[in-house]
Chain A
Amino acid sequence: MRYLPLTDTDREDMLARIGVSDVDALFSDVPAGKLLKSPVDLPRAKGELEVERILGRMAGKNTAASAVPFFVGAGAYKHHVPATVDHLIQRSEFLTSYTPYQPEIAQGTLQYLFEFQTQVAALTGMEVANASMYDGSTGTGEAVLMAHRVTKRRKAVLSGGLHPHYTAVVETLSEMANDEVVALKPDVSAQEDILSQIDDSTSCVVVQSPDVFGNLRDLKPIAEKAHAHGALLIAVFTEVVSLGAVVPPGAQDADIVVGEGQSIGNALNFGGPYVGLFAAKSKYIRQMPGRLCGETVDSTGQRGFVLTLSTREQHIRRDKATSNICTNSGLCVLAFTIHMTLLGQTGLARLAEVNHANAVKLADALAGVEGVTVLNDSFFNEFTVKLKKPAAEVVEVLAAKGILAGVPVSRLLPKAGLDDLLIIASTEVNTDEDRAALVAALVEVL
């Protein structure tokens, strides 16, 4: 077996040194009858070539985003990632290291975490950011729990514009912990009356912008009302590229900001691994979940970085910890921070501008198609259209024509009576030809 260095001679010599006759003597604590006598019923070892064939066949059955006109978003986005990013994250010293428990030989990881935290804080307009969560949805769940700790209240109000998967994650966590959740109905018009839901028992209000339907939301009045009642505003985003073009949540007085960072540096990966961004006002820092990297000095006075404030964490505080999170999204953080370093604010602003321009072009073109109504007043790179036929059916027909047209709202919210709605994203990867193909196909199908 190519991965195992020991030879049979080595094994014999080592058993002799240990003083046992065979390896099963080392498994003597396994209860009688429970030690397997032979390998389990699965195929035997295979060479690289055979593994490549098997997995290549599976992969070949899937339609890759790059292969077709592609407009699917709703929480994960197809973007171009510079070649430098994937090269660097595969360097051995990044790929095969672990959580930097020994900072003297992990300054590479620690320094990029510190740089990442600084980048996320700047992007969101917040004072501090942590070293990442698993993804945006689990980060949102953790943000709600954090708000409960800060306010010592247990009721969260969720906007109907929150991604339905995120809503489900928060509801699951809350149900388990016996916390209250008020989830507003999905509302494509973004006209929901969230302010009237906020009262003195509210711990937090969770609002996504751009919301799942693509609408840009004004967070400031919500922050004001929340603060007047001693509640926190948790601002959520699923498209981090939007922060290159829109007012950041920090400037609208959000208390906690959480979002999905996949768009920068990370592939679609059929849903994971992704990277959760998590930022807050610094006064809440000791209630934050997750790893934090901080600056310090070594015994000679040289600057260095360490994981810090770990008295919040599970390995110290156990059942009193702020979260159970341990391993998070290290390598996805690295991909994010390298891509963000390449972009800089200049490149990010340009990238955001191109995304917005492409979405505007597409929305304008679709507005001219009979049977299509664009529903958004404002949007960034994603918007929702109403079709005269069920969106899921239209998407299937277009998929058969080699166009991946978007996400039917019914995929996220079955039986919600929103079957005619389609969420469409257009990023920098789309060409004029892609858009023309989508428009032509819709004209034909509707």
Chain B
Amino acid sequence: MLNRQGRPTQAGEASHEEHLTFTGNKALQQIEPLIFEIGHHEATGVDIDKPAPFKSRLGKHARQGEIGLPGLSEPETMRHYVRLSQKNYGIDTGLFPLGSCTMKHNARLNEKMARLPGFSDVHPLQPLSSVPGALDLMLELARYLMTLTGMPAVALSPKAGAHGEACGMMAIKAAIAAKGEGATRNVVLVPESAHGTNPATAALIGFSVKAVPARPDGTVAVEDVKALLGPDIAAIMLTNPNTCGIFEPQIVEIAAAMHEAGAYFYCDGANFNAIVGKARPGDLGVDAMHINLHKTFSTPHGGGGPGAGPVVLSERLAPFAPVPFIHVENGKPHLIETRGEAPAGNQPFGRMTAFHGQMGMYVRALAYMLSHGSDGMRQASEDAVLNANYIRAGLADLMSLPFPDHPSMHEVLFDDEWLKGSGVSTLDFAKAMIDEGYHPMTVYFPLVVHGAMLIEPTESESKAALDLFIATLRDLAIAAKGNDKERFTSAPHHAPIRRLDETRAARSPVLKWEKPAPAKAAE
């Protein structure tokens, strides 16, 4: 059966008690075509007057022919995107325990502040005399970040976590070059448990990568690091708390060993939410650490960005921070935008991005910090850790903990040992969670355990929400170990769409809409 758009309205294998509809819609679950299927080339949702005749200065560069883009009127546009939004799960929908992503509440106050015309409607290159409040805001954000991390400097401009990693590693590379060791120190140590951006970043800027094995207890041992140290080692990139959700117990010793060997300690701050106001990276021997403002400080995730990845730097790396940066002299802030303008003592390694970074995210992050205050941020971290451990306590008898010897920090890691022989995979289990109204946890990451399930509830969940979540996962776990395989292997059953064929998408990629060929007359 076909609906009005000519697509199958439903599936051969769908359950027989399902009532078919003419449209293929299921009440609030609506099939929404692509804009290219509903729009028209002559349609537009804006009213702009035609200018009076004038002499074009485009010369021979004037576009010939159509662009090939449909438009929609305003009501059609509104309906299209509202319908699309209803196919998405967000933090505001329900519990979103996506490990390592810190899906916490996004306060709308932060959105409101970012939209103040004095922040949103100012140009990065308008005279600095016309934007003193923007520089104030950047300085205040920097002060908060430096105080929370116990670090003496911060480079604000990186655009997201991975970009911050690149910034920190570039500062390390520049510092090594300044010591005349550029040719020899070119290996970066990265634990096997690290996020993929770490090795990718190291490689991006010309380092080669050596893996540090994970200990059976999920941590990195200082002896294993020491065994790899030598005059070729530039740095270690270590996530703390690590991707298994454990605070690295030997972090201070590892930092000292790196420094003793003439190398640097890059800390991946993706999991900073566990320790804000509880421990300062500066006290642990960190040389550089990026902070994902969209995670820890709740500038929203926005369906995959925009993020922001400021990098705090140690005294040793601070002189190499990229442009732009704010230099305060006699109490007056100066924005240094090119290498040549850098005051004495600074050797900026270059520039990460056009303009001054993610101002819109700075405002949101500062609104978050002002709202929480030093007490609220500390409480938030404690609650995040408490919530993760509460989930752990509620599930540990049914699911398998690969690293039971350490308390979890803000996220708890399970593996799939407990599913062995059930015929249910980690992915199946995750998809069944969708049917229960939850966003699944992070799955198959970190790579150091089999079938990883990384659960990060954040501090935004109430005890009642956690109790229901635990009860749901217990029910699912018992069913998975029992005889209810169908509930998992063909899940999700109740999402707007059933399980998608990712292999097919990769095998013959269709990456844009193409006008369908006219149907053959004989068919």
Closest approach, in angstroms, between the C-beta of A395 and any C-beta of chain B? Answer: 6
Instruction: Select from chain B the residue with minimum beta-carbon distance to A39.
Output: B374
Nearest first, the 6 A-B pairs at minimum CB distance are A344-B71, A300-B11, A59-B118, A271-B355, A172-B350, A331-B302
B440 touches A102 (CB 8 A): yes
CB contact list, A205-258 vs B, under 8 A: 209, 216, 218, 243-248
A160-178 Cβ-contact flags toward B at 8 Å (1 or 0): 0001011011011101111
CA distance A62 to B124 in the complex (A): 12
CB distance from B164 to the nearest CB of A (A): 10
List chain A residues, Cβ under 8 A from B382: 23
Q: Are A396 and B129 in contact (CB under 8 A)?
A: yes
CB-CB contacts below 8 Å: B279-328 with A: 279-280, 283-284, 292, 294, 300-308, 322-323
**Looking at A23, A30, A363, which has the most chain B CB atoms within 10 Å of its CB?**
A30
- Of the candidates A27, A92, A354, the one whose C-beta lies within 8 Å of that of B92 is A92
Nearest-neighbour CB distance to chain A for B9, whole angstroms, equals 9
User: Across the interface, which residues of A come within 8 angstroms of B462, CB to CB?
Assistant: 5-6, 10
Please encode chain A, from 319 to 330, with 1 for each CB lying within 8 Å of some chain B CB and 0 for all others: 111011111111
Docked-complex contact A324 and B200, CB < 8 angstroms: yes
- Quote the shortest CB–CB distance from A23 to chain B (angstroms): 5
Residues of the B chain whose Cβ atoms lie less than 8 Å from the Cβ of A412: 125
User: Complex Cα distance A318/B194, Å?
Assistant: 10
| Distance, CA A376 to CA B499, complexed state (A) | 56
A residues within 8 A CB of B208?
A: 319
Selecting from A76-84, A191-199, A437-445, the interface stretch reads A76-84
CB-defined interface of B129-148 with A at 8 Å, one 1/0 digit per residue? 11111101100100010011
A282 nearest CB neighbor, chain B only: B511
**B-facing residues in A284-316 (Cβ within 8 Å):** 285, 291-306, 308-311, 313-316
Closest chain-B Cβ to A425's Cβ sits at a distance in Å of: 10
How far, in Å, is A354 (CB) from chain B's closest CB?
5
**Contact A91-B85, Cβ < 8 Å, known A323-B200, A346-B44:** yes
0/1 interface trace, chain A 3-21, chain B, CB 8 Å (1 if under): 1111100110111011100
For B123, give its contact among A29, A52, A404 (CB under 8 Å).
A404
Query: Would you give the 0/1 interface string for B41-72, flagging 1 where the beta carbon is closer than 8 Å to chain A?
Result: 11111101111101111111111101111111
Q: Are A105 and B460 touching (Cβ within 8 A)?
A: no
A87 nearest in chain B by CB position: B78
Whether the pair A92, B122 counts as a contact (CB closer than 8 A) is no
Return B33 CB to nearest CB of chain A, in Å. 9
Of the candidate stretches B359-367, B414-422, B473-481, the one touching chain A is B359-367
Is residue B389 contacting chain A, with contact meaning CB distance below 8 A? yes
CA distance A316 to B305 in the complex (A): 20
Contact with A along B424-446 (1 / 0, CB 8 A): 00000011001000011010010
A34 in contact with B463 (CB, 8 Å): no
B59, B88, B361, B377: the one within 8 Å of A377 (CB): B59
9 A-B pairs besides A165-B351, A165-B354, A399-B126 with CB distance below 8 A are: A42-B369, A92-B85, A169-B350, A172-B351, A271-B356, A273-B360, A306-B505, A324-B165, A347-B71
B199 within 8 A of A: yes
Would A327 and B304 count as touching, CB distance under 8 A?
yes
Contacts of A7 in B (CB 8 A): 463
Is the Cβ of A134 less than 8 Å from the Cβ of B306? yes
Tell me if A4 and B147 are in contact (CB < 8 A): no
Is A138 a contact of B72 with CB atoms below 8 Å?
no
B495 CB within 8 Å of chain A:
yes
> In the assembly, what is the distance between CA of A346 and CA of B44, in Å?
6
Q: For the complex, give the distance between the alpha carbons of A285 and B509 in Å.
A: 10
- 16 interchain pairs, CB-CB under 8 A: A4-B379, A27-B279, A43-B374, A58-B137, A105-B87, A122-B68, A128-B511, A138-B159, A169-B352, A244-B63, A246-B58, A292-B511, A300-B14, A327-B161, A330-B301, A363-B57
Q: Counting CB contacts under 8 A, is B340 at the interface? A: yes
Is the beta-carbon distance between B500 and A350 smaller than 8 angstroms? no
| Residues from 347 to 394 in A contacting B, C-beta threshold 8 Å | 347-351, 353-354, 356-361, 363, 376-380
User: A134 contacts B51, CB within 8 Å?
Assistant: no
Q: List the A side residues contacting B442 at CB < 8 Å.
A: 101
Q: Is B376 an interface residue (CB 8 A)?
A: yes
A81 to chain B minimum Cβ distance, whole angstroms, is 10
- A65 at the A/B interface (Cβ < 8 Å)? yes
Pick from A39, A106, A165, A293: contact of B375, CB below 8 A.
A39
**A277 proximal to B (CB < 8 A):** no
The verdict on A136 contacting chain B, using a C-beta distance below 8 Å, is yes
Cα-based distance from A349 to B62 in the complex (angstroms):
11
For residue B35, CB closer than 8 A to chain A, the reply is: yes
- State how many angstroms separate the Cβ of A10 from the closest Cβ of chain B: 4
How far apart are the CA atoms of A308 and B494 in the complex, in Å? 23
Query: Which residues of B sit under 8 angstroms from A5, Cβ to Cβ?
Result: 460-463, 465
Contact of A61 with B by CB under 8 A = yes
Q: How far is the CA of A400 from the CA of B130 in the complex (A)?
A: 9
Measured CB to CB, the closest approach of chain A to B308, in angstroms, equals 8
B223: interface (CB < 8 Å): no
A431 at the interface (CB under 8 A from B): no
Given the interface pairs A14-B463, A96-B92, the reply to whether A62 lies near B354 with Cβ below 8 Å is: no
Find the B residue at minimum CB distance from A55: B113
The answer to the question of A48 belonging to the interface, with a C-beta cut-off of 8 Å to chain B, is yes
The residue from A62, A103, A244 contacting B130, defined by CB atoms under 8 A apart: A62
A250 to chain B, nearest CB (A): 11
Cβ of B259 under 8 Å from chain A = no
Complexed CA–CA distance, A35 and B307 (Å): 29
List, in ascending order, chain B residues with CB within 8 A of A50's CB. Answer: 370
Q: Tell whether A344 pairs with B72 under 8 Å between CB atoms, given A3-B380, A108-B85.
A: yes
Task: Tell me if B386 and A15 are in contact (CB < 8 A).
Answer: yes
B121 near A267: Cβ-Cβ < 8 Å: yes
**Interface: B74 (CB within 8 A):** yes
Assembled-state Cα–Cα distance A348/B92 (Å): 34
The residue that B162 contacts in the complex, of A137, A300, A325, with Cβ under 8 A, is: A325
Check B118–A351 contact: CB distance below 8 A.
no
B118 near A36 with CB under 8 A, answer no
A123 within 8 A of partner (CB): yes
Is B160 interfacial (CB 8 A cutoff)? yes
Chain A neighbourhood of B54, CB < 8 A: 357, 360-361
Indicate if the CB atoms of A314 and B162 lie closer than 8 Å: yes
Known: A136-B354, A331-B303, A341-B35. A122 touches B197 (CB 8 A): no
How far apart are A421's CB and chain B's nearest CB, in angstroms?
A: 14
Within 464-523 of B, Cβ neighbours of A (below 8 Å) are at 465, 490, 492, 495-502, 504-506, 509-513
Per a CB cutoff under 8 Å, which of B148, B304, B496 touches A99?
B304
Contact in complex: B304, A346 (CB < 8 Å):
no
Q: A60–B118 contact, CB under 8 A?
A: yes
Q: How many Å lie between the Cα of A3 and that of B33 in the bound state?
A: 38
Provide the bound-state CA to CA distance between A298 and B492, in Å: 11
Asked if B347 lies at the interface with its beta carbon under 8 angstroms from chain A, I say no
| Cβ contacts under 8 Å, A29 to chain B | 246-249, 406-407
Q: Which residues of B contact A74 (CB under 8 A)?
A: 125
With A104-B499, A138-B159, A356-B58 already in contact, the answer to whether A414 and B303 are too (CB < 8 A) is no
B353 adjacent to A273 (CB under 8 Å) = no
Q: Is A44 engaged at the interface, CB distance under 8 Å to the other chain?
A: yes
A299 and B200: CB pair below 8 A?
A: no
Distance (whole angstroms) from the CB of A368 to the closest CB of chain B: 15
Whether a CB of chain A sits under 8 angstroms from the CB of B267 is no
The A329-347 residues at the B interface (CB cut-off 8 A) are 329-332, 334, 338, 340-347
Chain B, residue nearest A128 (CB): B511
**Distance in Å from the Cβ of B280 to the closest Cβ of chain A?**
7
Are A46 and B45 touching (Cβ within 8 A)? no
> Contact: A344 with B69, CB < 8 Å?
yes
A109-B203 in contact (CB<8A): no
B358 close to A (CB within 8 Å): yes
B120 proximal to A (CB < 8 A): yes
